[in-house]
Amino acid sequence: MGIFGNKSAGTETPDSHLTFFSVSDANEFRAATRQVFAELGYEVDVYPDHAVDRAGRKFGFWNIAAVCQSEPHQVWPGLIRGHLQRLLTSFDTPDPFQGLSPADIPGRTFARLYEESVVPELDGHPHREFAPGVIEMLALDLPDTVAVFRHENARTYGGYAALREQGLANLHGLDVERLEHMTPPEGGTVTALIGESFYTASRALLLPGLATELTGKQVREDYGWLMCIPNRHQVAWHVIEDTSVIGAVSGMARFAAAGYTNSPGPLSPHVYWWNGTGYEQLTEVSDDGGLTVRVGPDFQAVLESVMAAR
C-alpha cells in the first residue's frame, strides 16, 4: 500500500470511535478489555474509546487497540493484559521530577503535541491550543518515560515561557530522520518528516521556518500552508503556491487518516490550514468513518486567488 493509499475496512461498517475496527471487532475488543480488567481485580465503566475505574482513572483504548487490530483475536487478551499492567504499574512510580536538579531540566525539556481528548486533568498542566483537537504541552524526556510538566513543576524550574522557549530549541536541534517528498494522484507535492522520535510530529510547532529550512520554500503570508500530524512520528506540509493545493488537500487527507488509524501515538486525522493567525481545520470525519473536506470562506478566497492566477 502506498503512503497515500487507503486501508479497506472490509464490508462491515467501521466503528465510529476505533475506526480501524469494524463495529463487531470493536465491541469484541471492548468486551475483552472489560474481562481483563476484571481478572486484574478492577471494576470499570467501559465507554467507546476508554474505560474509567472506581478511582476515576481514565484508560484510553486507542494505542492498545492499534496494536490488537493487526493481530489474531485470540491473542488480544494477552496483549491487553500486558498493556494494562504497565499502565497500572506506572501509577505507582515515584514522581519523575523528584531528585532532579535545575541543571537536569533544560536538555530534557521538549514542547510536545498531544491529542486533547486523551489527556486527563488538563487543567493541572500548562498548555495551549495548537490546532483544533491538538494541544501543546511541556514534556520532560527521561530514559524510561516521558513526563508532562504540571503547573508546580513549571514554576519550580523557571516558568512556562522560559521552559517553552527551551523546549522549542530542543525540537529544532533534533536530527532529520527521514524527509520524503510525495506526489498524490491528484497532483501537488507534500513534504513529510518521518522518524522514530516521540517528538517528530511536534516539529510542526516550528513551521513555517522548518519548511523553509528543509526545502527552501518561502511561505506567502496571504496563502499560508497546509499541515497534518497523523501521529507522533509524522508531520507533513504543503506550502501553498498555486492550484496544486487542491490535490495536496486530498492527498494529505488520506495520509492523515491512514497514519492516525494505523499507528500508535495518534494525534489527529485532520488536515489544517494556517490562516495567518492560527490553524483552521479543513477536514471532518463523518459518522460512517469517511473523511470530507470542509472549505470555509477564508480558505475559499485562497482557492479563488490561486485559480485566478493560473
Q: Taking the chain (310 residues) in consecutive chunks of 10 residues, what is each chunk's mean pLDDT?
A: 38 81 92 90 88 83 87 93 81 75 94 85 90 95 86 95 98 95 90 96 97 92 96 96 94 91 84 96 77 90 91
Domain that includes residue 58, residue range: 23-91
Q: How many residues does the chain have?
A: 310
Written as nine digits, the cell of 288 is: 460512517
Do 87 and 51 contact (CB within 8 A), yes or no? no
Whether residues 190 and 304 share a domain: the answer is yes
Shared domain check, 224 and 125: no
Same domain? For 303 and 190 the reply is: yes
- Say whether both 259 and 186 belong to one domain: yes
CA distance 236 to 190: 7
Q: Label the pairing between strands 225-228 and 190-194.
A: unpaired
pLDDT score at 5? 37
Residues 67, 164, single domain; the answer is no
Query: Based on the domain organization, do 159 and 258 belong to the same domain?
Result: no
Report, in angstroms and rounded to the nearest whole number, the Rg of the chain calculated over CA atoms: 21
In a domain, 16, yes or no: no
The answer on 217 and 137 residing in a single domain is no
Question: Where is the domain boundary, 42, 67, 91?
Answer: 91
Residues 163 and 228 in one domain: no
Take residue 76 and report the three cell numbers written for it.
488480544
Crossing angle for the helix pair 297-308 and 244-261, to the nearest 10 degrees: 140
- Is 293 inside a domain boundary? yes
Q: Give the integer Cα–Cα distance in Å for 10 and 231.
A: 23
Q: Give the pLDDT of residue 44.
A: 86
Residue 139 inside a domain? The answer is yes
Instruction: Report the number of distinct structural domains present in the chain.
Output: 3
* 186 and 277 part of one domain: yes
